[in-house]
Amino acid sequence: MSGQVWSRALITGGAGFVGSHLCARLLDAGTDVVCLDNLATGSRANVADLEPRPGFRFVAGDATDPEALTGLPGRFDLVLHFACPASPVDYQRLPLETLDVGSTGTRLALERARADGARFVLASTSEVYGDPLEHPQREGYWGNVNPVGPRSVYDESKRFAEALVTAHRGARGTDAAIVRIFNTYGPRMRTGDGRAVPTFVTQALDGLPLTVAGDGGQTRSLCYVDDTVDGVLALAASAETGPVNIGGGDEITMLELARRIIELTGSASRVRHVGRPVDDPARRRPDTRLARERLGWRPRVGWSEGLERTVGWFSRSVAA
């Protein structure tokens, strides 16, 4: 984390996977934190260890509700907008809510940041690149997105949110930035959220076949959650507007990922190939030159070490 210390931060979606790690990191650094979450996909358990601590407050509320944002007392000097269903299982279950939080939720969070004179960071995603025709993906690439496909509610929600941040900064002078997050994983992921790492780990621990989509040759660049948090806060502490890619540099196939998880868990599970989802990206790896040069950021936890930590957390959670 950078040397910047904020007095008071608002994190929408703060009880979610990445949001809860941001809450903990900021609280550890001496920042008072308000976590706003409607718990549609987040969990109060993710911040249970933080709730007794001075300086932390959980607020049950929806980022698309104007009263939830304006009703928060005091002034913030940092607003991190992380409220949004992020896995295919969730955003396909909550399609309208996903679009609302990218549009109305982003606008309301921006207006609160502007009113308070706060630094604002939007959590965007590698999904804005769609099934990319450019590899690796740099921030200047416009993407290859299907606007009416099964992933469109998430993709277009984030693309609109980026446009809204850009317009708000230009029209209102809001101190706002965009971070594009790639395939973050680690402790506190939900077992049933449909993403590859928690799905494979829980299947392996349960002795079930690991369901690899297609031939498993599609790639992702995994980024351990601690590194993602470092990148988000480095952007927040800078004068950069973004978008800035934050993601891992080690590209791995889904078949290789499944086999590595079987090895780490000591499972007798085998791989079972299933149908590949529509519009599933074939390759994904960020060009992180901008983050390195402008933010001094680079991932420190390799995917092998990160997977060991993640498997250990899931194993302890199952045992508990």
- DSSP code, position 137: B
**89, 249 contact by CB (below 8 A):** no
Encode pLDDT of 156-182 as tens digits. Answer: 999 999 999 999 999 999 999 999 999
Nearest to 12 by CA among 172, 120, 163: 120
Whose tokens are 């698309």? That residue is: 64
For residue 84, CA distances in Å to 40, 65, 127, 283 come to: 9, 14, 13, 24
Contacting residues for 206 by C-beta, under 8 A, at least 6 apart: none
Q: What is the pLDDT of residues 73-105, one digit of tens each?
A: 999 999 999 999 999 999 999 999 999 999 999
| DSSP structure string for 94-131 | SHHHHHHIIIIIHHHHHHHHHHHT-EEEEEEEGGGGBS
**Residue in the structure block whose two tokens are 């402008």:** 294
Q: Is it the case that residue 3 has pLDDT exceeding 70?
A: no
Question: Model-level pTM?
Answer: 0.96
Which residues lie closer than 8 Å to 115 by C-beta, 6 or more apart? none
Using DSSP bridges, classify how beta strands 176-181 and 219-221 pair: parallel, antiparallel or unpaired. Answer: unpaired
* Angular region, 216: left φ>0, alpha ψ -120 to 50, beta rest: left
Angle formed by the axes of helices 303-319 and 254-265, to 10°? 50
185 is catalytic: no
Pick the CATH number of 8-185+224-249+283-300 from 1.20.930.40, 3.90.1170.30, 2.170.150.70, 3.40.50.720: 3.40.50.720
- pLDDT reported for residue 320: 59
301: left (phi over 0), alpha (psi -120 to 50) or beta: beta
Q: Catalytic residue among 91, 129, 154, 224, which?
A: 154
Q: E strands along the chain, which residues?
A: 8-12, 32-37, 56-60, 78-81, 119-125, 176-181, 184-185, 210-213, 219-221, 223-224, 244-246, 251-253, 271-274
Confidence at 249, pLDDT banded by 50, 70, 90? confident
Cβ contacts of 320 within 8 Å, gap of 6 or more: none
Residue 39, φ and ψ in degrees, nearest 5 = 65, 25
The pLDDT-based confidence of 1 (bands split at 50, 70, 90) is very low
Q: What is the pLDDT of residues 10-63, one digit of tens each?
A: 999 999 999 999 999 999 999 999 999 999 999 999 999 999 999 999 999 999
